Amino acid sequence: MQLVDPRPSRPIPIRITPLIDVVFILLVFFMLTTRLLPLDYLELANETSQRSSTEGDPLPELRVAANGTIRWQDNDYGLSELLPTLKAQGLTKVNLATTPETSLAHFTRTLSALDNAGIEPHWKRTDAPDS
Residue 107 lies in a domain: yes
Q: Could you read off the pLDDT of 17-28 as tens digits, one per residue?
A: 889 999 999 999
What integer pLDDT is reported at residue 98 of this predicted model?
86
Residue 32 lies in a domain: no
What integer pLDDT is reported at residue 25 of this predicted model?
95
Residue 100 lies in a domain: yes
CATH number for the domain that contains residue 117: 3.30.420.270
- Mean pLDDT along residues 49-75: 77
Round to whole Å and give the CA distance between 89 and 86.
5
Residue 104 lies in a domain: yes
- Interhelix angle 104-116/79-89, rounded to 10 degrees, is 40
DSSP state of 42: -
Judged on CB neighbours under 10 Å (0-12, 13-18, 19+), 27 is exposed
* 3-class state of residue 5 by DSSP: coil
